[in-house]
A and B are shown apart, each in its own frame.
Chain A
Amino acid sequence: MPPIGPDDHVRGPADARAVIVYGDYECPFCAALEVRLRALPLRMAFRHFPVRASHPRAQAAAQAAEAAAAQGAFWEMHDSLFDDQGRLEDPHLWERAERLGLELARFDADRRSPAVAERVRTNFLGGVRAGVVTTPTVFEEGEQYSGRTAVQQFA
């Protein structure tokens, strides 16, 4: 599994314990985990693992986050998506972009671009290669936690 690198979205104190999270914005367990991780002193890298058959809007949401990243607002969009998982249709994504002060035309073009789709796919395939089959999956110090177990692990 690719270690945390310059292409990753990472936040948290540089000297804190590092975790890698594979998640999808439509997954309620990922949202629950997110709340817990925010409260802990961890350095977290987030990678997309959208499974369309389970979560039809996960791919679009992941692409929206990457489009926001292109305008320097990844974590704001990331948090905004998890905070309101029931509203992930295109108008809701535009509304978030507007609220975050992003340039809307650019956001919309970027989220539909092959480059962004490729980035999300690279995250996904990296997860597959590491044995990820469900969301969320968390890697911490060589250990892997999946699904409900992952949420319970970080209580």
Chain B
Amino acid sequence: MALAAGEPAPDFSLARADGQPFTREDLLGKTTVLVFYPFAFSPVCTDQLSVYNELLDEFAARGATLYGVSCDATYSQTAFREQLGIAIEQLSDFEPKGAVCSAFGVLHPLGFPQRALVLIGPDGVVKWSYEAPKPSELPGANLIFDALDA
């Protein structure tokens, strides 16, 4: 199960597109939504990130930045992002595979991220999280707005 509200984000390191690490320190002082998704290029993921991408101004107006997180290699994530034509930055949990997903409690038993959303506040503590009952169910963007507006 995804980390619950009130739990601190763990120490972790994800790879940004340019190879630089994205760590717990990058969460501090900001409102962050980590969008965990199973696989780049699978049809279901496409709709989810595409819809969220339409709403980035609305999220920014609430001070929130979204990141997509999967276990795909950076090259795959970059190609995926370009194909979708989306602005949401991707973070890779490729090596060691699934380590960060595991630390956030969102690693599916078959070795890929659950479809989950984790909202982390400026203090590095989880404010809200959601895990879809199965990877084929897309969490609506309204869930993120409700959590941000709560």
Residues of B within 8 A of A129 (CB): 142, 145
When the two chains form the complex, which single residue of B84, B139, B143, B145 contacts A53, counting CB atoms closer than 8 Å?
B84
A52 to B51, CA, bound (A): 8
Give bound CA distance, A134 to B140, whole Å.
9
- Are B140 and A131 neighbours in the complex by a CB distance under 8 Å? yes
Contact A133 B46 (CB under 8 A): no
Interface flag for B55 (CB, 8 Å) = yes
- The A contact surface, by secondary structure, is loop
Interface residues of B, dominant DSSP: helix
Residue total for B at the interface (Cβ-Cβ under 8 A):
20
Task: For residue A121, give the distance in angstroms from its CB to the closest CB of chain B.
Answer: 9
How many chain A residues sit at the interface, stated as a range, is 10 to 19
Min CB distance, B79 to chain A, in Å? 14
Q: B102 at the A/B interface (Cβ < 8 Å)?
A: no
Question: With a CB–CB cut-off of 8 A, which chain A residues contact B96?
Answer: none
Smallest CB separation, B110 vs chain A (Å): 23
Q: Are B140 and A51 in contact (CB under 8 A)?
A: no
A128, B141: Cβ atoms under 8 Å? yes
Q: Is B47 in the interface zone, CB < 8 Å from A?
A: yes
17 contacts between A and B (CB under 8 A): A52-B50, A52-B53, A52-B85, A53-B49, A53-B53, A53-B84, A54-B47, A54-B84, A56-B85, A128-B141, A128-B145, A131-B143, A132-B51, A133-B47, A133-B51, A133-B140, A134-B138
Q: Show the binding face of B for A, using Cβ within 8 Å.
A: 46-51, 53-55, 58, 84-86, 138-143, 145
- A interface residue numbers (CB < 8 A to B): 51-54, 56, 124-125, 128-134
